[in-house]
Each structure stands twice: as structure tokens, then as C-alpha cells.
Structure 1
Amino acid sequence: MRVMHIAPGAPFGGVQRIVMNLARAQAASHRVATLWTGEMPHAEAKSVDRKTKTEEFLSSGSLLARVMRARGAIKAYDPDIVHLHMPAPWIALSLFNIRAKICLHLHGEPVRAGSLKARLGRELERIMVAHAGTLVAISDWIEQVWRERYPTARYRVVRNGVPVACEKPPAAKPVSTSPVVGFASRLAPDKGVAEFARFAIVMHEAHPNALFRIAGDGSQRRMLENELSSLIASGAAEILGHVSDMKTFWSQLDLAIFTAPAEPFGLRLIEPVAEGVPVIAYETGAGSDEIARDCAGIVLVPYEDPRAMAELAARLLSDDERRRVMVVEGAGDVARYFSLDAMTSGMAEVYQELLSR
């Protein structure tokens, strides 16, 4: 089977890591290509694997040029499956009269109506949905949101997965006198950056020995630096910028924090648990809630209650047994429900259904 993933190159974040991991896993049994649209992704996307051939990068040129280059790449590779991951809306114009079956991976909410550009994006989204044989939702919540817009489409839920070690699952680490609390995200308004800053300030006031490590970059970095200026000056907080080795980042934490207001899934929920790090998350009513409920390594607190989050963080950091239980049971839940193997298997079923229709 020949599979072509199409995804935006930037801003680099969870979607791109999911595409890279899925492509690596599929390359063991299929021919796989990745077509990045827009800007070039970070350097790690260039080495998806030697088995995973990156067929084309789209980084410049007029809209017509980008459409034609994408269409030319699809025709040259001649895939059996075109797998769309939040592509730029103009990619819809490259999908006419191609042989491949198309699945549209729903990593986020539909385009909202508004400006002329938004209305155009919504129309192009409608064309993509019409061309797609299956819409793949990453959570039940995101399926419900899309079904309200496109009730007649065919849906499947395949949850995101992360690589899971085959060896002994991670164990809870003893907490030092200066516990490390971490947050990782693209630093954008919809990712809970301001909410994390408020939590960190409250946590530091009550527990001045705590250290805060933030991985990520984006438009809200300056705001975060201003909000946490006193913590940064004292060495209690550090903003690391873009981090390529997220596995190491998570493993160096004692506790991870998730403060996004409305995530369809929340890859940052399960990645730390897979590395033996408990997570405290805000309950928001979005898809991230159902992920948290299915993973014992994650505990929820009411949204925008930094004091409740800080108090729970303090209790967890002083309760070795509770952390041990969260780590052991959470790792089991990740392996059961959120592994890369489970995601790859789910997508294989989607592909077979597409090809058989």
C-alpha cells in the first residue's frame, strides 16, 4: 500500500509529531510519503526515517503554484491513500480527479464562519469533506463537533498514540527538595499559556522551592516572560524554547501541568504519563476531559482555578504512594488506549475500509 500524509509544516507541534510517528510505524509495512504544506517544519521532520520518503516540501510561491505543486506531487507518487492532517484549506483544490482514496484526520474543530477569508476556508473545508471517504476523529468530542456541521459524513474515532516502551514501565521518582513542574506547548493564546502563568505564580507563593520548566515557543512567549519575570530572574522558572527531545524533557519532571482551555485531545496529557510523570489538568468539557478520564495518570481540577491546581500539586509532590499508583496505572492505560501501535492498527482498519468501498 502506498500512503501519502499531507500536513502543515508549521507551526510545529503535536500534529506534526503525530504525523511523523505514524509515518515511521507505517513504513515498516507500507510505502509512505509525507507532503508538508506551507513553511518548512523543524529539522527533525526531515528525518522521519530513511524508509519514510518525504516526497515534496511546499514553502513558497503563489497560491496557484502551491496547488499545482501539491497536485503534481500526489500524481507523481500515485498513492492508494491520501491522509490529510489539518492541511491548508487550499489543498482541497489539489484533490480533484485523483485515484487515491482520501481520509481527513480531524485534529481540531471545523473552520468558523466570519471574515471573507474564513468563509472561503469553510467552503474549501466542505470540498475536502466531500472528497474524503472517512473522517477520522481523535476523540468522541471532536466527532460530535464535526457531526453537527457535516451530519452525513462517515466517521471513525481513532485516538492519538505515543510510542510505548516494551521494557519495564516507568516507576515513580523520589521528589527532591526542589521539585520540577513542567509545561510544554506551542505558546499560543489557545494553549493555556496565560493560565499556566497564573498557576505558576500561585504555586511559587505557597511553595517557593518549586522549579518551573516550560518547553515551547510562539506568539505568547513575550507575555509569559513578562508574567514570570521575577521567577525567571530568581532561577525558579526557565523558558526553553522549542525542544526536539520531548521524551527527555518529560522524564526530567516530577509533575506536568495541562491548562489548555479547549483541546480536542491533548497529546501533552499522555506523553508525560508514558515517561512516568503524573499530570494535573484543567477540566474544560472538551476532548481532553475524556482522555483524562481514561488515564489514571491524569487528575482533573476545575478550569481556571490555579489555587486548586497548586494545592493538588503540593499534595501529589508530598505523597509518594499516590504518585506511584498514578504512574503504574497510568502507564498501563497509555499502553492500552493511547499507544502508537493502537493508533496504527486503527488507521489500518480505516484504510482497508476505504479501499474496499
Structure 2
Amino acid sequence: MSGRNSASTPPAVAAFTDTYLPTVNGVTYTISAWRDRWNTRGSRMDVVYPRSSYEPDDGEHPVTSVPFPFYDGYRLGLPQLPDAVRDVDVVHAHTPFLLGLSADRLARRESVPLVVSYHTPTAEYAEYLVPSWASSAVASLSRQYESWFLDRADLVLTPSAATASDVRRLTDAPVETHSNGVDVEFFRPTDSASFIRRHSIPDDRPIVGYTGRHGYEKNLDAIFEATADLDVTVVLAGDGPARESLEETAAALDVDAIFLGFLERENLPAFYSTLDVFAFPSPVETQGLVALEANACGTPVVAVDSGALSATVEDGITGYHFGPGDVAGFRNQIERALKNGDSLSQSCLDRRSEISLEMSMDRLEDTYERLLSSTDES
């Protein structure tokens, strides 16, 4: 049962995830940042994750894992409950897979609320992960499984209103929007001169870029198609299965492109500050955290008007939108953002507090407390 001692102490939380350090993505950063900030509030947020090369700190509990056969670099944790994970007030699942089932088991064993964060629409990824002839069936099965799992939650959190609307069609559980938040103390405008020199990036023309996983589902080819006729340098950071294809596309279109590969996290503020425009054509984002990180560094974003990015980017304030599949529109909005860069950059900086990690943590604490109060009353 709960190990909580004081109403003034934030609830003790056990978080379960199938993606964690050293893997680099928005979910990993969110969980790691939440855990660090939660612990500084005088409580604890334990994390159960698939065993990897990462060496755990106190409160981080690796379990036996196996490679995920359809997505290189990812591992699935087997459904285990480490003995040290006990006496918690709330269980928070960041995955619907096997470790999500472990989270559900712990919540029921401890008779505490189960919160589920919906980070990734697994059904939408099906066509990229399995042969085309099987994608429809796999997507249907994915939706059925997600629906079953989400129905077991006391509350489902989604990082955007658009995702919340989609998830409400999957489950009868309560669904609320909760932004993951950005560490605005870390992501801020940074002098990028040394970064530009170190990576031999030309500084005689505007720079358009992107960072994140190079996955086929993210439609990153569109960046090169949109910039093919522009006098810009395109800089991509990150890596993934689509990188070789992207390099071939850039070469075929004769785009001045630089592929930086994986960047250590401490280099990201300088990377964002180097860019004049962050280009984001991915239609499968549940929030698009990198767009908010770019904005926190004063960099406007040109994003596809689809899914979460329709709201994550404020049109005319923190960037612009273009229609799905509209390469000409993408190009026009990049040019527009370059023209209005100074005013957009200032608007981005003016909204830093609205996207901050601290605000996200305050809301998360309130959400947990509300759940616990309703549980006590029942």
C-alpha cells in the first residue's frame, strides 16, 4: 500500500516505460526530466525500464529486455515487477506494452490509481513496421489492444488536444491534455558561433534544420523537396533508419545539406539557436516536443498542419503551417518565416513560461492529488 507520510509531500510514483536512456527521443527526455524534477520536490518517482547499456541511478530499475523486431534500437521490457518498487501512491505507465501490463499489475496490487500517458499512436506506425500486406490488420489489432489497455486506466494523459480527441475514440477512461513541458532553463537562446565553426556550417545564407529520429514515418524527405529551390543550407541532426535514404534525396535534389548525426543533449540549444527555421513535416506527432524546444531557443517552426503540430505551433506567432503533402506550401511558409524571423523569434521567447517544465510539473502534481482525493472519497 501507499508509503505516503504527509499531505504536503508530493505522491510517490512508479513510472513504467519501454523507452529510456540511453535511447534518445522525446519520451525518454520527458520521463527523465519529470523524474529529476519530481525528486527535487521531496518525493520520489521510480522508473522501471528495459535493461540496456545505461547504468541506473537510485530509483531506476532495469528489467530483462529483448530487441523490438520492427524498430531498430528499441527494446521491450519483459513484464516484471522489481521487488524494490513498492509503497507508491500512483502508478504511471508510459507504454501500453509488456511493462504497461506490469504497471497495471502494480496499481491493482497496491490499490492505487493507474495513470497512462499516451505518447505514440502505435496503429499509425504499423505501415512502416510491417509488410504492406499486413499493415491494415496490424493497425486494427493495435487499436483494439490500445483500447483494451487504456480502458484499464483511471486517467489517460495526452500531450496535445488533437491527440486527446483521437484517444477519446479509443477508450471510455477519462482523457486529459497535459503538455510534457520544456526545460526553459536549459533550452534558451545560445551563442552558436562555435557550434557553426565546429560543424563547418556556412554562415552566408539562412539555415533550415531539423533534429530527431530519422524515421520514414516522419516524412523528412519533404524538407529537401521544399528547400530544393531555396538559397539555404539544410542541417539535420539525429539518426535513424531513413538516414541513408534522406542523404540520397538531398544529393538527388542538389540541396546543400549537412547531416550531423547524433548530438549530445548539451549541444541542442546551440543547434536550435543556429537555425533560422526549424522544419517539421512529420504527420505522426503526439506533441512534437522538439518544436517547443526550438521555440524556447527563439527559433520559429514551419510544421505540417496535421495532428498535434496543428496546435503545438501557433500560426503567425511561433511559426507557420502548411497543408499535408503541399510541398509548394511548405516552401512558401519557410520563405515567409525567414522574412519574418525577428518578430517570430521574439514571439517565441515571449511564450517560454507557457511551455515550461515547471508548469507541467505543477499540473502533474495537481492531477495526482486530484486522483488520490477522488480515490479516498470513494
Q: 1:101 to 1:327 in 2, by over 3 A?
A: same
TM-superposition CA deviations, 1:193-225 (whole Å, max 9, x none): 222232232xxx331xx2111112111111111
2:364 corresponds to which residue?
A: 347
Unaligned stretches of 5+ residues in structure 2: 1-10, 69-75, 127-134, 194-201
Q: Which residue of 2 aligns with 1:303?
A: 324
| Greater length-normalized contact order (CA 8 Å, ≥ 6 residues apart) | 1
Q: Is the 8 A contact 1:172 1:323 kept in 2?
A: no
Question: Which amino acid is 2:230 matched to?
Answer: A
1:288-324 per-position Cα deviation (integer Å, ceiling 9, x unaligned): 101213782221123323333333433443x4xx322
* Contact kept in structure 2, 1:269 and 1:292, CA below 8 Å: yes
* Structure 1, gaps ≥5 residues long: none
Correspondence for 1:290 among 311, 321, 325: 311
Q: Pick the aligned partner of 2:291 from 269, 273, 276.
A: 269
Name 1:19's counterpart in structure 2: 31
- Alpha-carbon deviations, 1:333-355, whole Å to 9, x = none? 2322x211111111111111222
Query: In the alignment, is residue 160 of structure 1 matched against residue 180 of structure 2?
Result: yes
User: Aligned runs of 1:226-241 on 2, under 5 Å?
Assistant: 226-229=248-251, 236-241=256-261
Q: CA RMSD for the aligned pairs? A: 3.4
User: Percent of counterpart pairs with the same letter?
Assistant: 20
- Contact 1:173–1:254, Cα closer than 8 Å, also in 2: no
Amino acid at match of 2:370: E
Cα distance, 1:257 vs structure 2 = 0.6
- Give how far 1:115 is off: 7.3
SS across alignment from 1:224: helix
Q: Hey, what's the Cα distance between the residues in 2 that align with 1:269 and 1:59?
A: 31
- The size of the alignment, in residue pairs, is 332
Contact 2:93–2:103 (Cα < 8 Å) also in 1 = no
Can you list the C-alpha shifts for 1:5-54, whole angstroms capped at 9, x where unaligned?
Answer: 211226631111111111111111121222123x637x5xx57xx6x631
**Aligned equivalent of 2:65:** 59
Name the counterpart of 2:6.
none
Question: TM-score by structure 2 length?
Answer: 0.76
Aligned to 1:32, which of 32, 38, 45? 45
Q: 2:67 and 2:215 mapped to 1: Cα distance? A: 27
Deviation of 1:267 after TM superposition, in Å, equals: 1.1
Distance of aligned partners of 1:213 and 1:57 in 2 relative to their CA distance in 1, 3 Å threshold? farther
Offset from partner CA, 1:34-93 (integer Å, 9 cap, x none): 2123x637x5xx57xx6x63122443499xx9545x2235x6343222211134246325
Choose the corresponding residue for 1:103, options 77, 93, 115: 115
1:325/1:66 Cα in 2 relative to 1: closer, same or farther (>3 Å)?
closer
Corresponding residue for 1:330?
A: 348
Q: Secondary structure at the match of 2:169?
A: helix
> Residue 230 of structure 2 corresponds to which residue in structure 1?
206
The letter for the 2-side match of 1:206 is L
Distance (Å, rounded) in 1 between the aligned partners of 2:289 and 2:263: 15
Q: Would the aligned equivalents of 1:134 and 1:153 in 2 still touch at CA under 8 Å? A: yes
Q: Indicate the residue corresponding to 1:80 in structure 2.
A: 89
Amino acid at match of 2:367: V
Change (3 A) 1:140 1:206: closer
Q: CA deviation at 1:119?
A: 6.5
Determine the C-alpha separation between the residues in 1 that align with 2:303 and 2:47. Answer: 33
d(CA) in 2 for partners of 1:93, 1:173: 44
TM-score by length of 1: 0.80
Q: Which residue of 1 aligns with 2:279?
A: 257
